[in-house]
Amino acid sequence: MSVTATARSAVDALVSALPAGVVVTDAVRVEKYRHDRFEDLAAGMPCAVVRAESTEQVQVALRWATEHRVPVVPRGAGTSLSGGATAVDGCLVLTLERMSGIRVDPDRRVAHVEPGALNISVKEAAAGHGLWYPPDPGSYRISTIGGNIATNAGGLCCVKYGVTADYVLGLDVVLADGRLLRLGGETMKDVAGLNLRQLFVGSEGTLGVVTGAVLRLVPQQGEVSTLVASFPDLVSAGTAVTRIGRTVRPAMLELMDRVSINAVEDHSPRGLDREAGALLIVQSDAPGRSRAEEIATVEALCEEAGATEVATTDDADEGLMFVDARRSAGDATEARGTLLAEDICVPVDRLPEVLAEISAIAVRHDLEIPVVAHAGDGNLHPGIVYPPGDAAARDRAWLAFDDLMALATTFGGTVTGEHGVGRTKTRGLAAQVGPDVLAVSHAIKATLDPLGLLNPGALLPRDPAEGS
Ligand SMILES: Cc1cc2nc3c(=O)[nH]c(=O)nc-3n(C[C@H](O)[C@H](O)[C@H](O)COP(=O)(O)OP(=O)(O)OC[C@H]3O[C@@H](n4cnc5c(N)ncnc54)[C@H](O)[C@@H]3O)c2cc1C
């Protein structure tokens, strides 16, 4: 029997083992699951897609994959910006998008969530009980909780409320051999045994497939006031960020540089100051009168650092307009050409120097690199843009990408703050963590996934020795 015929009969066995409609094999529908938002031109062709409806079906798919030695790429909504959900040749794409149940227990302040539920749906379900699920990646309307957990997604309110990992109390995870692990539960504290639950958070589908989660909820956020400050340059804005972080704890502290401000204004005008070197968008949700005090403190700190204009508002809709402008920067940047999205994170006090270096990298490689940042966390998103189809510019873009990763590690930071290593940053990871951490990571992977079937090529370099 030829290899192709063997593969075909293996897929037939999978189709028979699962209910009708769960396994997708027709080429047109399979094509939709090859790429994520990174749009890797080298994405492989899956042998099939399983659109799982239950944990049991995930177990069946993974047992089948183990039996037939088929690599598996777990997938949520495919919004990864680092190629984490990109298909590899001959793989099974295992999408969790149909498992989207949510049950809120308001007295225990938890939500039981299936992995395919969208982040926004969890927020809405919690709000129905006067509760809040804070993690808010820019993609919160389109990304799934499973994907958020697998990447330990961050977002705009993390500066005060933390990242996805801070809200994961319990996890159901299916291993490559089909075993189901139930980790943690509904309690706010749990130190029984090794913290395997957190090991799976941020593991990018390389250790197991998340099929359920218990998420911690908190009381609904109170009223919010917003401040927008214009700075003549990035260095003064970066200085303000450090001083604000030392003094108060805002609920949001975002930065846009001049290039990203102008990208947003070109794409969908919001009335932002096109001449500003940088904008800071700051929110306070402190209770009662403390909110006005916090905003006044931030205003004074911005002026002290050199802000040329500061505006504040207690109007929620007006505040949202500025936050939406910041959120729209990704789309606005993408509209300017092909985008290589960066996601470095540095200690906050290094922001002024790092921002200056990013401008120098843009000049050096003759590229446009708009920068937005979850500045309060030191998490920068330089978006490297180049004209589609311009091979020379693409090469320069990848050089700039590598320079930015090196810049982050040189300044004591990390190559990825929240998007994950995916398939784009394995080199950077190796350089950042070094051979010992890499070897231990490979050993953990080998224990949980001895055949190396789960999301090969993502997060960890394929070759432990070479680091790429
Ligand atoms: C416009 C835009 C804005 C964004 N803003 C942010 C931001 O502010 N913060 C941020 O952190 N990210 C952001 N992202 C990146 C992306 O949305 C996040 O990484 C998100 O968590 C991915 O969720 P997803 O459902 O799309 O997962 P996918 O892209 O489908 O998968 C992401 C990774 O998770 C794995 N995975 C998915 N589901 C499971 C599962 N059930 N079990 C095991 N592994 C799984 C995949 O294999 C892959 O490695 C943004 C993306 C876009 C397009």
Please tell me the predicted confidence (pLDDT) of residue 463.
74
Q: Give the max Cα distance, the chain.
A: 76
Q: 172 pairs with which residues across the strands?
A: 182, 212
The answer to whether the beta carbons of residues 196 and 207 sit under 8 Å apart is: no
The answer to whether the beta carbons of residues 343 and 381 sit under 8 Å apart is: yes
pLDDT at 438 over 50: yes
User: How many angstroms does the Cα of residue 59 sit away from the middle of ligand 1?
Assistant: 22
Ligand 1 contacts CB of residue 74 (under 6 A): yes
Ligand 1 contacts CB of residue 80 (under 6 A): yes
Tell me the pLDDT band of 1, cut-offs 50, 70 and 90: very low
- How far CA 423 is from CA of 193, 302, 419, in Å, comes to 32, 39, 11
pLDDT at 2 over 70: no
**Among the listed residues 304, 322, 325, 324, the one whose alpha carbon sits nearest the alpha carbon of residue 312:** 322
Tell me the pLDDT band of 4, cut-offs 50, 70 and 90: confident
Ligand 1 contacts CB of residue 152 (under 6 A): no
Give percent of the chain with pLDDT exceeding 90: 95
Tell me the pLDDT band of 274, cut-offs 50, 70 and 90: very high
The string of pLDDT tens digits covering residues 123-158 is 999 999 999 999 999 999 999 999 999 999 999 999
Tell me the pLDDT band of 468, cut-offs 50, 70 and 90: very low
The string of pLDDT tens digits covering residues 152-186 is 999 999 999 999 999 999 999 999 999 999 999 99
The string of pLDDT tens digits covering residues 33-75 is 999 999 888 999 999 999 999 999 999 999 999 999 999 999 9
Domains and CATH numbers, the chain: 3-95 (3.30.43.10), 102-219 (3.30.465.10), 225-410 (3.40.462.10)
The string of pLDDT tens digits covering residues 319-350 is 999 999 999 998 999 899 999 999 999 999 99
Nearest atom within ligand 1 for CA of residue 144 = 25
User: How many angstroms does the Cα of residue 297 sit away from the middle of ligand 1?
Assistant: 35
Average pLDDT over residues 443-456: 98
User: How many angstroms does the Cα of residue 162 sit away from the middle of ligand 1?
Assistant: 17
Q: Which of 2-16, 30-44, 102-116, 442-456 has the lowest mean pLDDT?
A: 2-16
Please tell me the predicted confidence (pLDDT) of residue 105.
98
Ligand 1 contacts CB of residue 81 (under 6 A): yes
Distance of CA 467 to the CA centre of its chain: 23
Residue 18 neighbours by CB under 8 Å, 6+ apart: 50, 57, 60, 61
Please tell me the predicted confidence (pLDDT) of residue 8.
85
Ligand 1 contacts CB of residue 96 (under 6 A): yes
The string of pLDDT tens digits covering residues 458-467 is 999 987 665 5
Tokens of 81: 């910006």
Q: 209 pairs with which residues across the strands?
A: 174
Please tell me the predicted confidence (pLDDT) of residue 462.
82
pLDDT at 223 over 70: yes
Tell me the pLDDT band of 94, cut-offs 50, 70 and 90: very high
User: How many angstroms does the Cα of residue 274 sit away from the middle of ligand 1?
Assistant: 31
Please tell me the predicted confidence (pLDDT) of residue 466.
54
Q: What's the whole-number average pLDDT of the chain?
A: 96
